[in-house]
Structure 1
Amino acid sequence: MPREHAEEAQTVPGIDLGKRAVNLVMDALTLTLEIEQAELALDPANYPVENQLTLAGSSC
């Protein structure tokens, strides 16, 4: 990050560049975890056949 940006951010109240950087990384990690969890939950192979229901015809 350019030194000028850091200096300007220090003069304005309410701007915390460190907090923004941490939040950016945490958001990316959290989204990655959510995607992995959704893939596990949506994969029919992870559930017993008794818990699966195939819809066909008018039951769709």
Structure 2
Amino acid sequence: MKSTVIEEDVEAVLQHAFHGKPLDPDVARRVRERASQITERIRRTHGVIDDASFAELLEEE
């Protein structure tokens, strides 16, 4: 089974987080770039939420 770059990055991040394996700078860069793109899509769709509203949402759960 062929893995994707995203799957490989996930595995590298998990190895880093749970086993202390060094994280390749290219993996870190790709993860930051994807996170930034996802954050921007969420902001375009839902707007920016203030801290008080966010805390209120957490309390509802």
TM over 0.5: no
For normalisation by structure 2, the TM-score amounts to 0.39
User: Which protein, 1 or 2, shows the higher relative CO under an 8 Å CA cutoff with sep ≥ 6?
Assistant: 2
